[in-house]
Amino acid sequence: MQTDTNDPPKIAYSIKEACKASSLGRTTLYAHIAANRLRAVRIGGRTVIPADSLHALIAGEA
């Protein structure tokens, strides 16, 4: 099975994707959002986490 490596880098993650990418649970992510350590953007009925915000949290810069 071959994967396409030409996919553009993600600029935002859904909550589910952010949990999987960071190995953090939903409750933990929402706690970071509430504490303004993680930025969440509401687009229509969907909440997304900008990739730079998630990377900053993991790097300890948030």
- What is the reported pLDDT for 42? 96
Give 5 or 36, the one with higher predicted confidence: 36
- Under 8 Å between Cβ of 41 and 50: yes
Residue 13 has pLDDT above 70, yes or no: yes
How does pLDDT run across 14-52, given as a tens digit for each residue?
Answer: 999 999 999 999 999 999 999 999 999 999 999 999 999
Structure tokens at 2: 């071959």
Q: Could you tell me the two tokens for 15?
A: 């909550």
Contact 32, 38 (CB under 8 A): yes
